Amino acid sequence: MVARHDLTTDPEIQEQLLTVRRGTAFWHRKVHELSDAELDGPTLLSGWTRRHLIAHVGYNARAIARLVLWANTGVETPMYASPEVRDQEIELGATMPARALRHLDDHAAVSLNVEWRDTPADLWSTIVRTAQGREVPLSETVWMRTREVWLHAVDLDNGARFSDIPESVLERLLGDITGMWQKRGTDPGFAIEVLDRPDLGTLGAGAGASSATAVTGTLAAVAAWASGRGASALATGQETEPPRWL
C-alpha cells in the first residue's frame, strides 16, 4: 500500500519538505500566470527563454527523483548521464509545444514529491552524488530542489521577487554562496552586513579587515546580489561584482 503521508518522521526533514512544497506551488503559480506566447520571453538567465527555464526545472525534478530512486533501490542512478546530455535535454525540451512543456513541469514535480513521500525514514541518510560530484545524504536533495524552485521563480521575470522567498531559504542560500566563495578562495574581501538580520554577523572574507569591500542590504537584497541576480536593491556595494558560485 502506498502511504499518503511522509514516511520520514524526522521533524527537520518534514519541515524542509514543507518548504520545498511551498516553493514548488509558488513556482507553478508563476508559470501558470504566463500565457503560452509569453513562454517565448526572456528570463533573468542570459541565453535562456522561459521555455528553457521551465524545461530545466522539469528535468531537474526528474534528475533529483533519480537520486531518490538510487537511495531506495541501492542502484546508482546519476542525475544526468553527462553535462552535455543535460544541456541537450533542455534545448530540446524548450522546443516542445506549450502544453507538453507545462505537462512535463507539473508531472515531474508530482512524481518527485511522491518519491520523497514514500521514502522510508531510514533511507534519508543514504549517500548519493549530485551532478557536481558532491556526495550528500539523500535529505540534501530537498534543499537542492528548494533552491531551484524559489530562485527560478524569480528568474521567470514575471513578478516574483527575492522578498517572496522565505527567510530560512534566503539565509541558507546566502550561507551556501559565501561558503562556496570561501572554499574556492574567490571572495575578494567582502564584508557583508545583513541589515535586517544583525544576528548573522559580518559575512565574507573581508570581515574585520580595514580594506574590506562593504556590502550592505536586507537579506533579500544581499541574497539577490550574491546569487548574481542584481545589486540594485543593496544599500551599499551596488558597484561590486559577486564571484560565480555555481
Judged by CB under 5 A, the stretch of 66-74, 146-154, 159-167, 221-229 that binds Zn ion is: 146-154
> In the block, which residue shows the cell 542525475?
79
Positive or negative, the CA dihedral 51, 57, 58, 63 is: positive
Report in angstroms how near the CB of residue 155 gets to Zn ion at its nearest: 8
User: Which is closer to Zn ion, CB of 105 or CB of 148?
Assistant: 148
Angle among Cα 244, 30, 22 to the nearest 5 degrees reads: 80
Q: Is the CB of residue 16 less than 8 Å from the CB of residue 141?
A: no
Beta strands in the chain (DSSP E): 127-129, 135-137, 190-194, 202-203, 213-217
User: Which is closer to Zn ion, CB of 56 or CB of 102?
Assistant: 56
Q: Is the CB of residue 13 less than 8 Å from the CB of residue 142?
A: yes
User: Which is closer to Zn ion, CB of 17 or CB of 154?
Assistant: 154
Report in angstroms how near the CB of residue 104 gets to Zn ion at its nearest: 15
> In the block, which residue shows the cell 539565509?
171
CA distance 74 to 213: 47
DSSP structural state of residue 235: S
Report in angstroms how near the CB of residue 7 gets to Zn ion at its nearest: 27
Report in angstroms how near the CB of residue 45 gets to Zn ion at its nearest: 8
Max intra-chain CA distance, the chain: 63
Query: Which residue of this chain has its Cβ atom nearest to Zn ion in the complex?
Result: 148
User: Which is closer to Zn ion, CB of 61 or CB of 233?
Assistant: 61
Report in angstroms how near the CB of residue 195 gets to Zn ion at its nearest: 28
User: Which is closer to Zn ion, CB of 10 or CB of 164?
Assistant: 164
Judged by CB under 5 A, the stretch of 84-92, 143-151, 179-187, 227-235 that binds Zn ion is: 143-151
CA distance 147 to 88: 22
User: Which is closer to Zn ion, CB of 16 or CB of 43?
Assistant: 43
Task: Mark residues 147-176: x for contact with Zn ion by CB under 5 A, - for none.
Answer: -x----------------------------
Site residues for Zn ion per CB under 5 A: 148
